[in-house]
Homo-oligomer: A and B are copies of this chain.
């Protein structure tokens, strides 16, 4: 590393630790006669992006140009292509990893990014969740059962109204209360007023019930904003956050995780527009890689069109053994109701967090009772 003395920042690309190649797995819709050429073009597009014949640098030709590792046919006009890309091109930086995986090819609408295999050195460099499933269980003292979560809504409510809702959810014995992902730092409920108020209401409820409900406020904006918000959250005794990685940007999400190893990060899928990147990859694997302790995703049979197999694959990627990284907690959500709790627990098992938002809030004056019923159903479920 000739220029090691010129590194911009510790942990930045200048100190990259990854070696070897990662494998990006794409699916390309085209005819059989074209697939070999399409695969070669994709390997070039996602690496040097210029005619290989015009390159004479041996390092670039040997170590940087993408290589087609495999092509297999999935269907009549659908192929899976595995491309080996140099790990060094990513600098172990989240934004640049996605740039290498799907930067230009995201603009080609017959290509989807399906999966990725990363070298151990890169997984170690990113590090994955700092606490993950175990950290979230420990916070609320929940062993051998699923976790529960609800959401503060609607955006537009003043801090005192949100705090009132939070207190009532906490009295019902919910494990986690997250902000709706639409709650940011709006003038009618600024972060600096809202978060202390909600945290205090939850603390009062916990003191009254002996409960351990935790608050996950939504953080947003630039890295400066995120840091200011984390400081306010810490001062309010908060030890977890909700964040939408595709909204704040992957580099900021990675920095948030790296700077706050003691904060549980719940990742929200907003702007995850999963049509072109397979949801099990983006939500289950990449968000986990970059540090998500829990991952919210649309459950099957709710307001979003995800199939059960997609949801199972997201949960599998979030929890599976993966080079020593902590498992993330899958959080199926999106129009869930208490009636579906037993079915969802049977489907996902106990290493899950069930998130019911609007349908609890619809109970209005019976919010605490309804929350208690939800918590009891989860506690009492027996896994077959």
Which residues does A use to contact B, with CB under 8 Å? 1-4, 6-9, 12-16, 41, 45, 47-51, 53-55, 57, 59-60, 63-65, 86, 88-89, 91, 93, 95-96, 98-100, 102-104, 106-110, 153-157, 159, 161, 180-182, 184-193, 220-225, 228-229, 232, 244, 247-252, 254-255, 269-277, 298, 303-306, 334, 357-359, 361-362, 364
Between A and B, 29 residue pairs with Cβ closer than 8 Å are A4-B187, A6-B190, A8-B191, A13-B184, A14-B192, A16-B187, A49-B182, A50-B357, A50-B361, A51-B358, A51-B359, A64-B154, A65-B154, A91-B185, A95-B220, A98-B247, A103-B270, A103-B271, A104-B181, A106-B274, A107-B272, A108-B304, A109-B274, A110-B305, A221-B251, A222-B223, A249-B252, A251-B252, A276-B276
Q: How many copies does the complex hold?
A: 2
- Looking across the interface, which residue of chain B has its beta carbon closest to that of A52? B154
Decide: B270 and A221 in contact? CB cutoff 8 A.
no
Decide: A3 and B192 in contact? CB cutoff 8 A.
yes
The CA of A274 and the CA of B108, in the complex, are separated in Å by 8
Q: Which residues of B contact A224 (CB under 8 A)?
A: 9, 223, 255
The CA of A271 and the CA of B222, in the complex, are separated in Å by 19
**Within the complex, what minimum Cβ distance (angstroms) separates A16 from chain B?**
5
- Looking across the interface, which residue of chain B has its beta carbon closest to that of A247? B95
Decide: B48 and A102 in contact? CB cutoff 8 A.
no
A49 touches which one: B153, B186, B304 (CB < 8 A)?
A: B153
Q: Which residues of B contact A251 (CB under 8 A)?
A: 220-223, 225, 247-249, 252
- Looking across the interface, which residue of chain B has its beta carbon closest to that of A232? B8
Q: Which residues of B contact A358 (CB under 8 A)?
A: 49-51, 54
A270 touches which one: B104, B273, B275, B303 (CB < 8 A)?
A: B104
A249 touches which one: B100, B232, B249 (CB < 8 A)?
A: B249
The CA of A269 and the CA of B110, in the complex, are separated in Å by 17
Decide: B247 and A362 in contact? CB cutoff 8 A.
no
